Structure 1
Amino acid sequence: MLAYYLDMALRHCRRSKALTALVVVLMSVGVATCMITYAVFRATAADPIPWKSNQLFVPQIDSFGPAHNWKGEPPQLLSYTDAVALLHARQARRQVLIYGSKWTVLPGDAQHLPSSQEGDAVSHDFFAMFDAPFRYGGGWSVSDDDQRAAVVVISGALNQKLFGGVDSVGREINLDTHNYRIVGVLDDWNPSPRYFDVVSSYYPFSHPRQLYLPFSRAIDLQKAASGNFYCSTNTVDPDLPNWDSVLHSECAWIAAWVELPTRADVERYRDWLHNYAAEQQHVGRFAWPPNVRLSDVGQWLHVMKVVPKASELSLIVSVSFLLICLVNVVGLMLARFMRRAPEIGVRRALGASRGAIYRQFLTEAAAIGLAGGVLGLLLTALGMAGVGHVFEPEVAGMARLDASLLLLTVLAAVLTTLIAALYPTWRAAQVQPAWQLKSNG
């Protein structure tokens, strides 16, 4: 019977070519618009590290107080005092401190000009915690952190630029007139968003950092932060040298992460955070009750509103446009099916059940939806090629036209066409044979 219904659908499509073409075009345009914006939204809202996102947490400690924090929420970054206390307490499996800075790379030959590179000052657990892949070498050790060693991990792109892509581990690179020994070269690694540094890097979909140096080394060199640096009040002590005043202030500028593999670890660490804040209140540093937070990757990205508003808004607009297309298709389908009322009346008089009418017309709608899906694939591919004209290049570059999106496009076209055909099919199935035979007679 399916072959029969398909043959009937093809015959009727040929008879009403204009209506069929209009339905196909409407569905393909509506579905393609949705799929393009969905591809962008999916890329920006995807879990950046799904295999362990429920084990990585951002600790927050309120060092500003209720008079200066944002609606009772602690600062998103930590002061140096709290960050170092967290690092040295070692209450988690791994703990990482991060702050961004800029470094001048001085080439070893006259063929290259000095260049400014974005870098992150991080503690040694950074690479293991975030599963950073290495092409050559690896990260530095705990002792390198303790000794403020002049070591560095560079990106594959910088390694290609400076050393032609060969194994450069053990060689030296000059940063801000200081020589650093390269201990590792990262493979292609560009988490989008940069979830581990969404606060201090300003834009979470920015290009990857080219340099990673020991946090302790950057502090020792008094390397200023290039990211967010905010204070509740004028807490910088004028009686201290400038850098010491920054380190002793309540200004927030350091991102912190901890790795907690189990739920028990999470609860234990949350208790430790609360007790730490209570201790700071007890010694007189805080004049307010403990106010701490512990958020995993998904919660943190939600709090930080990482998904661009443009992608959210465009998805809402495109879904609304699809609904408008759907309403128009309902009208076209109703006109298309009700024109065949005499035919339906004859079939019912000859013994066809309402179920048979439902199957015939829904099969016809599915066939039209499939045609709309095929055209929608072409429009989606065309739209994906031009998505960079609507969204930021970093965001547009993340959207992919993969097999899952292609399949979803076809399924969406078929399903929406079937939904649009439900009411017209129901109306067609209600046709009374006697009325049609009487009117025809």
Structure 2
Amino acid sequence: MFGYYLQLAMHSFRRSPGLTVLMVIIMGIGVAASMTTYAVFRAVSGDPLPEKSAQLFVPQIDNIGPQNGSSGNQLPDALTYTDAMALMRAKAGARQTAIYPIVGDVVPDEHLQLRPFTANGYAAYADFFAMFNVPFRYGHGWHSDDDDRAGNVIAISNRLNQRLFAGINSVGQTLNVDGHDYRVVGVMDDWNPQPRFYDVNNGFSFGDTPDYYLPFTRAVALHIGSNGNNNCSASGKPLTPGWDGWLRSECTWVSLWVQLPDATSVQRYRQFLSHYASEQQRAGRFKWASNVRLFDLNGWLDHEGVVPPEARVSLLVAMGFLFVCLVNTVGLLLAKIMRRAGEIGVRRALGASRGHIYGQFLAEAAAIGAAGGLLGLLLTAAGMHGTDLLFDPDIAKLAHLTAGLISSTVLVAIFATIIAGLYPAWRAARVQPSWQLKSQ
């Protein structure tokens, strides 16, 4: 029966090709606008680590006090070195890692005939790789023993491995960064979650894959400064000169993550965090009531407002535009169907039920939707190349025409056009055959 309805739809399209093409274009443009903006919105609002996001938490401690601007949930994003190391030593989570961004000059071997170049990286602990499910193409991350002895080891990205070692297994090779030799222990596979949620100190960031990771303790031993936000002004306390003064200061620059596998461990860690802050108050370091927060991964991204306002606004505008296209399609379908009232009356007189009339015109709407979806797919693919006109380039390039987006585009077009065809089909099914036969 559905095949028969499609035959009737094709016959109808040949009778009024201009009206049919107009509806296909309207639906194609409306679907393309909505799906292009949806692709960007989905890229920045999705869960970057769905398999573990409910187990990963960011602790915050108020080390500046209400007099310097802290209140409620508005606490420093990062921690001081003092607090971060105290939490690391406590090992109150199943896993934990302190992190901060670094930058260094990579010095290639002479035989490569490459000039030294600047590379971006992070200083972290060994748990970083297991906590965030970092995949490795060769080797693995370093061990906790390397953290304890500030080992001269390094894990590099696949991109850096391609540049320096032509993509071969470089585990065991030596890499010079800022004049210091490091032994390569692992080459990460292509891993670059967006947003880069683990960079707490910078709120969040989008962009290219970091080039390398060093042990946190090694970076501190070499006095490698942070390449991220270093908030010293909020505490209002003077900064003692020198690296030791920097480490002892109330400047916040260290990100910290803990893995807490269940609700019980989350509750215990909250209590531990509150107890730690209370101890700092009793010791005279804090002059205010303890104030701590613990965000899970998705809660942290919401707290930081990771979805750009322009992505939300653009999505709402695009959905509104799709609604306008649907309203126009309803009007065109209604006009097209009402012009065929005589044909409908004859079919009803020959025994077609109202359900048959419904099916005929909904099948016609579905066919228009499918054609509009294919056109929308082409326009969506073209729109992907123009997203940087509306969004930051680092965000725009996250939108890709995936298999899921392809199927969603066609299905949305078909479903939306069927919805648009419900009222015209209802009007068609209400046609009285006797009136139409008399008028003929």
For this structure pair, what is the TM-score category when the shorter chain's length is used for normalisation?
over 0.9
Instruction: In structure 1, give the amino acid aligned to 2:329.
Output: V
Question: Post-superposition shift, 1:98?
Answer: 0.4
Task: Say if 2:428 is the partner of 1:435.
Answer: no
What's 1:212 paired with?
213
The structural deviation recorded for 1:192 is 1.6
Q: Which amino acid aligns with 2:144?
A: V
Offset at residue 79 of structure 1 (A):
0.9
TM value normalised by structure 1? 0.93
Residue deviations 1:315-367 (CA, integer Å, cap 9, x gap): 22211111111111111111111112223333334443322222221121112
Match of 2:126 in 1: 124
Please name the residue that 1:363 is paired with.
363
What's the % identity of the aligned pairs? 54
Unaligned runs of 5+ in 2: none
Report the AA paired with residue 307 of structure 1: V
Change (3 A) 1:2 1:161: closer
Question: Match for 1:294: what amino acid?
Answer: L
Match of 2:7 in 1: 7
Q: Is the CA contact (8 Å cut-off) linking 2:141 and 2:185 kept in structure 1?
A: yes
Matched residues, number: 437
Contact 1:69 1:75 in 2 (8 A): no
- Residue 399 of structure 1 is matched in structure 2 by 399
**Equivalent-residue separation in structure 1 for 2:39 and 2:256 (angstroms):** 31
Which residue of structure 1 lines up, in the alignment, with residue 96 of structure 2? 95
* SS of equivalent residue, structure 1 residue 67: helix
Whether 2:270 is the aligned partner of 1:270: answer yes
Conservation of the 8 A alpha-carbon contact between 2:199 and 2:205: yes
Q: Is the 8 A contact 1:66 1:72 kept in 2?
A: no
Q: Structure 1 residues 219 and 79 mapped into 2: Cα distance closer, same or farther (>3 Å)?
A: same
Deviation at 1:70, TM superposition (A): 5.0
Distance 1:203 1:45 in 2: 12
Secondary structure of 2:66's aligned partner = coil
Q: Any conservation in 2 of the 1:365–1:417 contact (CA below 8 Å)?
A: yes
Contact preservation (8 Å) 1:137, 1:169: yes
- Is 1:235–1:251's contact at 8 Å kept on the other side of the alignment? no
Task: Write out aligned runs for 1:316-395 (5 A).
Answer: 316-395=316-395
The question of 1:113 aligning with 2:120 is answered: no
Higher mean C-alpha deviation, range 408-417 or range 130-139:
130-139
Q: Matched residue of 1:195: which SS? A: coil
Distance 1:183 1:334, change over 3 A: same
Q: CA deviation at 1:396?
A: 3.2
Q: How far did 1:77 drift?
A: 0.6
- Is 1:183 matched up with 2:188? no
Secondary structure of the residue aligned to 1:227 is coil
Structure-1 residue corresponding to 2:166: 164
Q: Which amino acid in 2 is paired with 1:187?
A: D
Distance 1:107 1:374, change over 3 A: closer
Shift, 1:181, TM fit = 2.3
* CA offsets 1:142-187 (integer angstroms, 9 cap, x no match): 2221222222222222222223333332332222222222222222
Shift of 1:243: 2.0
Moved over 4 A (4+): none
Query: Given the alignment of the two structures, is residue 193 of structure 1 paired with residue 192 of structure 2, yes or no?
Result: no
**Structure 1 gaps, min length 5:** none
More deviation in 354-363 or 13-22? 354-363
Residue 112 of structure 1 deviates from its aligned partner by: 2.2
Which residue of the partner structure matches residue 242 of structure 2? 242
Match of 2:229 in 1: 228
Which of 118-127 and 345-354 deviates more? 345-354
Given residue 254 of structure 2, which amino acid in structure 1 is its aligned partner? Answer: I
> Quick one: structure 1 residues 97 and 331, their matched pair in 2 at CA, closer, same or farther if it must change by over 3 Å?
same
Structure 2 match to 1:173: 175
Is the 8 Å Cα contact of residues 236 and 246 (structure 1) preserved in structure 2? no
Structure 1 SS opposite 2:198: helix
| Cα distance in structure 2, aligned partners of 1:124 and 1:403 | 36
CA distance 1:347–1:158, shift in 2 (3 Å)? closer
Q: Which amino acid aligns with 2:118?
A: S
**For 1:198-248, what per-residue CA distance to the aligned partner results, in whole angstroms no more than 9, with x for missing partners?**
543x761121211211111222222211101113133234xx433222222
Q: Distance in 1 between matches of 2:279 and 2:361?
A: 73
- 1:136 paired with 2:138, answer yes
Counterpart of 2:410 in structure 1 is: 410
Deviates more, 1:294-303 or 1:251-260: 294-303
Assess, with a 3 A threshold, how the Cα gap between structure 1 residues 122 and 351 changes in structure 2: closer, same or farther. same
Higher mean C-alpha displacement, 329-338 vs 132-141: 132-141
Contact 2:34 2:322 in 1 (8 A): yes
CA distance 1:266–1:306, change in 2 (3 Å): same
Question: SS of 2:68's equivalent?
Answer: coil
1:118-153 CA-to-partner distances (Å, cap 9, x unmatched) read 121111211111121222222222222122222222
Contact kept, 8 Å, 1:236 with 1:245, in 2: the verdict is no
Aligned 8 A contact 1:373 1:411 in 2: yes
In structure 2, the partner of 1:75 is 76
Taking a change above 3 Å as real, the CA distance of residues 426 and 88 of structure 1, as seen in their structure-2 partners, is same
Verify the 8 A CA contact 2:197 2:204 in the aligned structure 1. Answer: no
Q: Which amino acid aligns with 2:301?
A: L
Q: 1:333 to 1:198 in 2, by over 3 A?
A: farther
Residue identity matched to 1:87: M
